[in-house]
Amino acid sequence: MNTHKLLIIDDDEQIGEMLKTIAEQCGFHVIFTDTALAFYEQLSLFEPDLIMVDLIMPDVDGVQLIERLADINHNAKLIIISGAGKRVVNSSAVSAQEHGMEIAGVLNKPFRTAEARQVLTDFIKHNRRRRPTAKEKIAPAQDHWFPGEDDLQQALDSGLINAHFQPKISSHTKLLLGFEVLARWHDEEHGGVRPDYFIQLAERTHQIDSLTRLVFDQAMCWFARLSRTVNPDQSMTLTMEPDNLTIAVNISVVNLQNRLLPDELSDCCEQHGVSPQQVILEVTETAAMENPTEMLDILTRLRIKGFGLAIDDFGVGYSSLIQLARLPFSELKVDRSFVMTGDESAESRAVIKSVVNLAKSLGLKSVAEGVESHAMRRYLDQIGCDILQGFAIAKPMAAEPCEVWIEEYYQTMEQQRVKALKTLDILDTPEEYRFDRITRLAKRLFDVPVALISFVDVERQWFKSHPDFDLPETPREFSFCAHALGFQEVFVVNNASEHPRFRNNELVTDADKPIRFYAGCPLQMPGGERLGTLCLIDSEPRHFSDQEKIVLQQLAALVEEELEADEYQDLDHLTQLFNRSAFERRSRSMLTLAERSQLAIYLLLIDIDDFRQFNELYGHTAGDTALIAIADILRENFRQSDIISRFSGDEFSVMMINKADREEIQLASIVDRINQEIDRVINQTLAPNSLKLTVSTGVATTSENSHFSYSKLLYEAQYQLRRRP
Ligand code: C2E
Ligand code: CA
Ligand code: CA
């Protein structure tokens, strides 16, 4: 007689036994397992035609297990059991189907015995067991090798297990940030063994410490070599900073019970000359939450050694937020089951987004793994996920192919960069006020002798804006900025004469104007290409605070806005000053900057009195000449870092940016001087009659009221202007 065979995996023994009884009553031949290892063993021995999987089990990832079944093309049908709520269950059912598994039913915990019986009898109804065909008898189902304890021991001893590397990149800048190390076991005879299988085998046979040690050692060895071979000084196209890269190694929960682990790992780092700061240890969410108090202890010790810590597979378990916040993690990795299904499933996207936001609010970096599509890359960038990992970027690779990949990745990035730079068509163009105002402002705010806007060309760096600095360009090999492009945020050299990479640089050893301090913030196009920097240089060593970094980043954002702005649309064509909308956009950005730095902003409105009569009396040509003359007077009397516009037909506006409490503005005397100049330049030549040109002013400032909104400033300045006699 042909009996249907049912294999159950559930960590809850009571439920498992209950299901077994029900199924046997329905006429099934049943085996119940409560661990992954037992399950996989039975899978090949028992050859079930129906499988019941509990989605949520402490030691086994049900979702992964289903994926694996699909991968090995197991033709059993599936019943999904879960207490995770209908949505999760349904979406994993969808995902299993997408992986080619057939779903025979779903049981939501808690379920009644009648429901279980119904699902099982339905299955029998629809699956009358047929006899195997002759062909199937000759060619047995594909042979799946499930190695045991001794096989693993042997594999560990004979070097069959080795480390592969999967790149991680920045979602926003596309910079290569590091790698995750993944163990691979390739057997000559049987082929590859799946990591989740042999990792669990290692855990239960007490070989996981040896495995972790082996993988960790290989990883450090490779990583140290990589840092040595990829020497940016030798390759101009590589804007790579090996010191910036990280290497992430998976640590099993069993490893964490080994009290010697922190010392062993840090010793290994020391042997290879790798800084623990560059090493991230990945611990699964379920492991971290298993025994939070004990975990806190060992994780803290690892953190003290300098290691970064990532929560792996986040979203699958049910972490208490309080515990999560208490554990010393630095990275949160969204489980790949959500990322891989995110293109089709709104639920998965909702999970991803909330994990990313959770990471943000806890001050952790968010990492999405399992990124397989470009649509997903875009989505992740849009919701502000920091780091990407997945087949859409690269598959895990052995050491050598990974090195080739790195080289190619950098070359592609550089090509895209240069292409974007050429498209921008900015190289060798004249200096412009709209850029100079930002470098001049930077000089004032940071009190440095030199601030530059530099573009890194193929073989040189060229300065779009370089007030009070003679060189228009320097060779790329001396460029600090080219290195800054390899950094996520602001790159700082406090004292170049002590910096290993720069101390022999010509610009540092040059006795004339030696560089000591450098801070550069990359300028990035919307497509992510980094073209150059806004940078500060001093001939004295200097400290640069986090607050200062933020201000520099904001100034760099102003430069980025200028790069995207349409100059033709922004200028008033008569006076060549900004027009009103261009002025307002820049003023708003400036106010945002002021909110976070100690700046006092003044908005000054200058209205020409009786300009209509002036035009009527002396003619429009004279009127135009007067406007041009006033524009010149304003340029002369305000700083180049101020923003000046022709606000309307007969109005001008100036936004003055001052360091609060440090720079006093003598507004009355400036206005007097403007009026004197107008009298001298305009009235004496253009206005011989009794009608003389005069201006009225109104001013508002942020230093007096704490409210920073542009409309309020404008309203106040206009109010003052109207009150004038
Ligand atoms: P994991 O730590 O979550 O590792 C990420 C897994 O996602 C890897 O599977 C990787 O190959 C896979 N992956 C990455 N991007 C994509 C993608 O775009 N699409 C798909 N379909 N998969 C992607 P792998 O290598 O099979 O490893 C499975 C699990 O085995 C790992 O999951 C980890 O838990 C464990 N593991 C692997 N190596 C080690 C190790 O050295 N030590 C320990 N303790 N565990 C390891
Ligand atoms: Ca991992
Ligand atoms: Ca993971």
Please indicate whether residue 538 or residue 693 has the higher confidence score (pLDDT): 538
| 248 alpha carbon – ligand 3 mean position (Å) | 11
Confidence of residue 134 (pLDDT cuts 50, 70, 90): very low
Residue nearest to atom 13 of ligand 1 (CA): 370
Measuring CA to CA, which residue among 172, 8, 141 is closest to residue 78?
A: 8
Average pLDDT over residues 388-406: 95
Ligand nearest to the CA of 202: 1
For residue 192, how many C-alpha atoms fall within 13 Å in the half-sphere facing its CB? 9
Q: Name the token pair of 646.
A: 């022709």
301: Cβ–Cβ under 8 A, 6 or more apart, which residues? 262
Whole-number average pLDDT of the chain: 88
| 313 alpha carbon – ligand 2 mean position (Å) | 7
Question: How far is Cα 685 from Cα 397, in angstroms, rounded to an integer?
Answer: 78
pLDDT digits (tens, 9 = 90+) for 256-274: 989 899 999 999 999 999 9
Please indicate whether residue 3 or residue 655 has the higher confidence score (pLDDT): 655
Which range, of 223-237, 273-287, 401-415, 519-533, averages the lowest pLDDT? 223-237
Ligand nearest to the CA of 195: 1
* Residue 206: burial class (beta carbons within 10 Å; 0-12, 13-18, 19+): exposed
Please give the C-alpha separations between residue 260 and each of 303, 306, 308, 311, 596, in angstroms, as whole numbers.
14, 16, 18, 21, 46
Atom of ligand 1 nearest to the CA of 340: 19
Question: How far is Cα 5 from Cα 20, in angstroms, rounded to an integer?
Answer: 11
Most confident listed range (124-128, 160-164, 240-244): 160-164
| 227 alpha carbon – ligand 1 mean position (Å) | 24
3-state secondary structure 592-642: HHHHHCCEEEEEEEEEECCHHHHHHHHCHHHHHHHHHHHHHHHHHHCCCCC
Residue nearest to atom 35 of ligand 1 (CA): 196
Residue nearest to atom 15 of ligand 1 (CA): 390
Residue owning tokens 């009358």: 128
pLDDT digits (tens, 9 = 90+) for 660-706: 766 677 888 888 999 999 988 888 887 777 788 889 999 998 865 56
Atom of ligand 1 nearest to the CA of 282: 2
Atom of ligand 1 nearest to the CA of 255: 44
Rg from Cα positions in the chain:
34
* pLDDT reported for residue 322: 75
CB-CB contact of 261 with 301 (8 Å): no
Reply yes or no on whether the pLDDT at 423 is more than 50. yes
Angle value at C-alpha 440, between 487 and 475, nearest 5 degrees:
50
> Which is it for strands 103-108 and 161-170: parallel, antiparallel or unpaired?
unpaired
Confidence of residue 140 (pLDDT cuts 50, 70, 90): very low
Measuring CA to CA, which residue among 367, 401, 538 is closest to residue 469?
A: 538
Reply yes or no on whether the pLDDT at 572 is more than 90. yes
* Residue 555: burial class (beta carbons within 10 Å; 0-12, 13-18, 19+): buried
Ligand nearest to the CA of 281: 2
370: Cβ–Cβ under 8 A, 6 or more apart, which residues? 335, 336, 337, 338, 339, 340, 389, 390, 391
Q: Which helix (H) or strand (E) holds 391?
A: none
* pLDDT reported for residue 703: 66
Which range, of 108-122, 444-458, 658-672, averages the lowest pLDDT? 658-672
CB-CB contact of 578 with 571 (8 Å): yes
| 222 alpha carbon – ligand 2 mean position (Å) | 18
Angle value at C-alpha 54, between 50 and 55, nearest 5 degrees:
120
Measuring CA to CA, which residue among 187, 183, 194 is closest to residue 72?
A: 194
User: What DSSP state is assigned to residue 500?
Assistant: T
* pLDDT reported for residue 57: 80
| 333 alpha carbon – ligand 3 mean position (Å) | 6
* pLDDT reported for residue 725: 58
Residue nearest to atom 11 of ligand 1 (CA): 396
| 417 alpha carbon – ligand 3 mean position (Å) | 32
Q: Name the token pair of 655.
A: 């936004």
- Of the residues 336, 337, 340, which should be mutated to test ligand 1's pocket, given the most ligand atoms within 8 Å of the CB? 336
Measuring CA to CA, which residue among 517, 501, 506 is closest to residue 474?
A: 506
Give the alpha-carbon dihedral of 701, 706, 710, 713, to 10 degrees: -40
Atom of ligand 1 nearest to the CA of 252: 44
DSSP 92-116: HHHHHHHTTPPEEEEEESS--HHHH
| The one-letter amino acid at 136 | E
CB-CB contact of 182 with 166 (8 Å): yes
Ligand nearest to the CA of 397: 1
Ligand nearest to the CA of 280: 2
Average pLDDT over residues 318-328: 77
- Of the residues 37, 166, 182, 372, which should be mutated to test ligand 1's pocket, given the most ligand atoms within 8 Å of the CB? 182
Measuring CA to CA, which residue among 702, 478, 461 is closest to residue 603?
A: 702
Identify the bridge partners of residue 492 per DSSP, sorted by sequence position.
519
Average pLDDT over residues 442-468: 95
Average pLDDT over residues 176-202: 91
User: What DSSP state is assigned to residue 159?
Assistant: T
Atom of ligand 1 nearest to the CA of 371: 18
3-class SS at 361?
helix
- Of the residues 222, 250, 373, which should be mutated to test ligand 1's pocket, given the most ligand atoms within 8 Å of the CB? 250
Residue nearest to atom 17 of ligand 1 (CA): 370
User: What DSSP state is assigned to residue 536?
Assistant: E
Residue owning tokens 């996920």: 385
| 129 alpha carbon – ligand 1 mean position (Å) | 37
* pLDDT reported for residue 2: 63
* pLDDT reported for residue 136: 39
Measuring CA to CA, which residue among 258, 305, 298 is closest to residue 280?
A: 305
User: What DSSP state is assigned to residue 276?
Assistant: G
> Which is it for strands 246-250 and 191-193: parallel, antiparallel or unpaired?
unpaired
CB-CB contact of 692 with 651 (8 Å): no
Cβ–Cβ contacts within 10 Å for residue 562, how many?
A: 20
- Percent of the chain at pLDDT > 70 equals 94
Question: How far is Cα 605 from Cα 654, in angstroms, rounded to an integer?
Answer: 7
Confidence of residue 437 (pLDDT cuts 50, 70, 90): very high
DSSP 10-56: -S-HHHHHHHHHHHHHHT-EEEEE-SHHHHHHHHHHH--SEEEEESB
- pTM score, two decimals? 0.75
| 397 alpha carbon – ligand 2 mean position (Å) | 15
Confidence of residue 27 (pLDDT cuts 50, 70, 90): confident
* pLDDT reported for residue 223: 95
Identify the bridge partners of residue 308 per DSSP, sorted by sequence position.
280
CB-CB contact of 176 with 227 (8 Å): no
Ligand nearest to the CA of 196: 1
| 180 alpha carbon – ligand 2 mean position (Å) | 7
* pLDDT reported for residue 142: 39
Ion ligand 3: residues, CB within 5 A, are 312-313
Residue owning tokens 């599509």: 373
Residues with CB under 6 A from ligand 1: 166, 182-183, 195-196, 199, 212, 215, 250, 252, 282, 312-313, 336, 340, 369-372, 389-391, 396
Reply yes or no on whether the pLDDT at 443 is more than 90. yes
| 485 alpha carbon – ligand 2 mean position (Å) | 28
pLDDT digits (tens, 9 = 90+) for 100-110: 788 888 888 88
| The one-letter amino acid at 299 | L
Question: How far is Cα 721 from Cα 305, in angstroms, rounded to an integer?
Answer: 63
Extended strands (E) in 251-378: 279-284, 308-314, 331-334, 365-369
Atom of ligand 1 nearest to the CA of 195: 30
Reply yes or no on whether the pLDDT at 138 is more than 50. no
Q: Name the token pair of 95.
A: 């995902």
**Greatest CA separation for the chain:** 120
* pLDDT reported for residue 417: 93
| 181 alpha carbon – ligand 3 mean position (Å) | 11
Residue owning tokens 């402490």: 58
| The one-letter amino acid at 61 | D
| 427 alpha carbon – ligand 3 mean position (Å) | 44
* pLDDT reported for residue 579: 96
Cβ–Cβ contacts within 10 Å for residue 416, how many?
A: 16
Confidence of residue 235 (pLDDT cuts 50, 70, 90): very low
pLDDT digits (tens, 9 = 90+) for 333-365: 999 989 988 998 888 999 999 999 999 999 999
| 392 alpha carbon – ligand 1 mean position (Å) | 15
Reply yes or no on whether the pLDDT at 98 is more than 80. no
Question: How far is Cα 594 from Cα 588, in angstroms, rounded to an integer?
Answer: 10
Atom of ligand 1 nearest to the CA of 396: 11
Ligand nearest to the CA of 396: 1
| 348 alpha carbon – ligand 3 mean position (Å) | 15
Atom of ligand 1 nearest to the CA of 251: 44
Residue nearest to atom 19 of ligand 1 (CA): 370
| 335 alpha carbon – ligand 3 mean position (Å) | 5
CB-CB contact of 474 with 461 (8 Å): yes
Confidence of residue 240 (pLDDT cuts 50, 70, 90): low
Residue nearest to atom 34 of ligand 1 (CA): 196
Which range, of 68-77, 218-227, 301-310, 537-546, averages the lowest pLDDT? 68-77
Average pLDDT over residues 443-463: 95
| The one-letter amino acid at 192 | G
3-state secondary structure 453-495: EEEECCCEEEEEECCCCCCCEEEHHHCHHHHHCCCCCCEEECC
* pLDDT reported for residue 724: 61
* pLDDT reported for residue 132: 47
Reply yes or no on whether the pLDDT at 655 is more than 50. yes
Identify the bridge partners of residue 248 per DSSP, sorted by sequence position.
180, 280
Ligand nearest to the CA of 335: 3
